[in-house]
Structure 1
Amino acid sequence: MELFAWLNAQLLRMDWLAALVRLLLEEGLGLDTASRVGASVHFFIYDVIKIFILLGVLIFSISWVQSYFPPERTRRILGGLRGVRANLMGALLGTVTPFCSCSSIPLFIGFTSSGLPLGVTFAFLISSPLVDLASVILLASIFNWSIALAYVLLGIVLAVLGGSLIGRARMERHVEAFVMHNKVLDLPASQLSRRDRLQFSWEQVREVFGRVWLYVLIGVGIGAAIHNWIPQDMVLALLGEDRWWAVPLATLVGVPMYADIFGTLPIAEALVAKGVGLGTALAFMMAVTALSLPSLIMLKKVVKGPLLALFFSIVLVGIMLIGVLFNRFAYLLI
């Protein structure tokens, strides 16, 4: 256990990086990292570098694995399953796709046009932005593995239940016609060389970085401000654990926003450090990533109003329930 704790501290939390940044700021620039300004600068530089390092390594590794599972192969694997098992596989597939909610929608179109059941594709659509492996490891680096694994479990449960409810609602008629007839082009995994896989993985890293770098900077900046400048009493007055409205408010505030989970994690970290309930912070994070306004606008282009409303309602209620559960039982995970 001591070895695991050491590896977790050095490889995920990167304590060595925190110490190095502190040394450079104090010895190189003469900045007191115990002061409000110094602590903010240290928080910003350390978190940005840590997230980018982890993100690059994880996206490359996950993309390499993904190169063996093109859409057609995935369709064949999922096509032989039905019911909850199929929805579970769709949700698990979402955990290995490093996409935000907007980027998941083209894959949702591809899977639907390939003939996969609607419940499976929505299980994937819910799971993909919430519980991809990169974000889970980042979550463990900020909090701990117990919290990260509990988050994964509840996220998958939400995706499976959401997919199952949508599948049972028989709402295929509320999917736009062009989705059902969209052509899916695919390249068999067997035709990809090692060089192709390296190029694909590197391109995925570049694409993800190009999409998230600004949100990471903004998220870490907001986190640094919350952590060092906003009074704790003010934060607790709005989002304290004893406030019954904390989880619903955090969820509803997150919906109009748009950012990848990598940009919202530092905000969640800062909120928890200020005394906000873990479930409240995670509910905000999940709402931003799974129910962002831009993703809902994109989804409206491929599904009709009743199906969109059902999807939104299921995920919104699910996120609030997960937030309440984390607030209630967080002490078991710390």
Structure 2
Amino acid sequence: MTLADAATKPHDRLREYLAEDMAAVNALIRTRMASDHAPRIPEVTQHLVEAGGKRIRPLMTLAAARLCGYDGTDHRKLAATVEFIHTATLLHDDVVDESEQRRGRPTANLLWDNKSSVLVGDYLFSRSFQLMVECGSLRVLDILANASATIAEGEVLQMTAAQNLSTGEDTYRLVVKGKTAALFEAATEVGGVVAGAPDSQVSALARYGDALGMSFQIVDDLLDFGGTSGALGKNIGDDFRERKLTLPMIKAIAKADAEERAFWQRTIEKGRQQEGDLDAALTLLRKHGALEETRVEALRYRDQAKAAIADLPPHPLRDMLADLADFVVERVS
């Protein structure tokens, strides 16, 4: 099961329920990604924005606000803000990772160049802050500014830890908190804040977003060793080829004998990979139960996400958000 499956999926039901809001968000994105003086900006941005992403993060913002009874329009600006931050990080990530495929299409840095990707990403970050300021809430600004800093911190941490075999699970979780969970958490939290929800509900939504983001990224890292390229929007084994230590590898390395450790040192630390190494890595992951242990961890975060919103007032959107948590891990269940 993949995030691209048919219209019975939770994110599709969310999109249908929030269709009017989402149409306004999409129009806002198109308007704000324009530039009167630098046509390269909309060219690069549109390539990624229109590439078929599911817009899960902005949907979470809209859902959180409506779930808390909001009937205004500022949540649309915040949803667009979240998507711009996400898109900016993708543009920067592909440069750092030297990636060639994103959402099943060539990356912007491959089609244009690294300079364009970095600068357009900077432009989108600036646009995101313009949008969030327009909502007039210092609390919202604080949440999203902190999330942006955490994202950058997570990326730097990943860059310094990715090829170090001493990297442990705690460091990995800090990376995931930065690169994925921080924006999921902010997306739901600001929805509650803009709705004027009680602090208990805002906190519940934030915990939901954090746990969902952790589960989402762990599942993606697991699928890199066993999914389909269509499901991932990237090539199978990219993390291994890019020498990016993820949870399955970290778990296997912790149990490695001397010969196995030498394999990981050659392929990850030194980058001397050869034909057959990906299959050898998969064999080691299975031998040490690393894939199954990683799957169990994704399920644990799924359970945390569902528990976080269980006590929110009954609402169709609450049920859809719970279903979304289930759906994220169904890809590896």
Name the TM-score, length of structure 1 as normaliser: 0.27
Please, what TM-score do these two structures have when normalized by structure 2? 0.27
- From the two aligned structures, give the one with the greater helix fraction: 1
